[in-house]
Amino acid sequence: MNDYVADTHALFWYLIASQKLGPKAKAAFDEAQNGQAFIHISSIVLAELYYINAKYGSPINYSAEFQSLKAGSQYVLTPLDPEDIVDFDNDLSVPEMHDRIIVGLARRLSAPLLTVDKAIAASNLVAVLW
């Protein structure tokens, strides 16, 4: 079973079936949907998803999608633990704090990160699929 970590835009674009979602990221989500992979979603991604959804006029019902993600066996909702903050020093080449949380999760899991973020890709800290 493959493991992937989703960033906020990847998850949002998957949920709204946007053409902006990269083909490799879509394939990873589809693999999980077919029961062949797990998508790890950091609590910070869930928080950002709430705000990005509102920013774009709420194309998804956030509460319903959250419940669906929580109930889906292919999704692993991951809390932010205080120990994760100490881990920030390992990801100094990622400038944004929220991105460090997501990158740290992918690095600790040795899982590809589903992201279009150029700063994350340039950091070479984790494998990136888009």
For 50-89, write each residue's pLDDT tens digit: 999 999 999 999 999 999 999 999 999 999 999 889 889 9
Bridge partners (DSSP) of residue 37 are 2
Contact 25, 129 (CB under 8 A): yes
Residue ranges of E strands in 10-126:
37-42, 75-78, 113-114
What mean pLDDT do residues 28-50 have? 97
Rounded distance between C-alpha atoms, residue 55 and residue 59, angstroms:
10
> Taking all residues of the chain, what is their mean pLDDT, rounded to a whole number?
96
**CATH topology classification for 2-129:** Rossmann fold (3.40.50)
Structure tokens at 80: 């932010």
Q: Which of 115, 119, 108 is nearest to 130 (CA)?
A: 115
Q: What are the structural domain ranges in the chain?
A: 2-129
Write down the pLDDT at residue 83.
Answer: 85
What residues have CB less than 8 Å from 22, skipping those under 6 apart? Answer: 10, 114, 116, 129, 130
